[in-house]
Amino acid sequence: MNTVIAWLENHLFACPVKQFMYIDCPGCGLQRSIIALLEGDMVKSFQLYPATIPMLFCFIFTALHIIFNFKHGAAIIKVSFILCVLTILVFYFYKIFTNKLI
């Protein structure tokens, strides 16, 4: 597992928004957050990108809903998607207003 994490750390995608506009985009930090989560550090993962865990829940639940067709699965997916988007937006606006965007 350590070799996978080391490979991921050495092959992170560059953010085109950050390269050309020199500011973070709403998705900046997701890759590092996933790596922290793979290392087992949930606190660091949350600090890097708070929407990682809700996004993973949304993806996993959607896959399970496709397989098992839960009774209220579609409604749960909609709510979890909205919560993910709200989490991303709130965190991004927090970064803007606290001048941590760069």
CB-count exposure of residue 11 (10 Å: 0-12, 13-18, 19+): exposed
Domain residue limits, the chain? 2-97
Q: Is the pLDDT of residue 1 over 90?
A: no
Amino acid type, 57:
F
Instruction: Mention every residue, 6+ apart, whose C-beta is less than 8 A from residue 75.
Output: none
- Please state, in angstroms and rounded to a whole number, the distance separating the CA atoms of residues 83 and 51: 9
pLDDT score, position 63: 97
Q: What does the pLDDT average to over 6-10?
A: 94
| Tens of pLDDT, residues 60-95 | 999 999 999 999 999 999 999 999 999 999 999 999
| Residue at token pair 């020199």 | 22
| Residue at token pair 């996978």 | 4
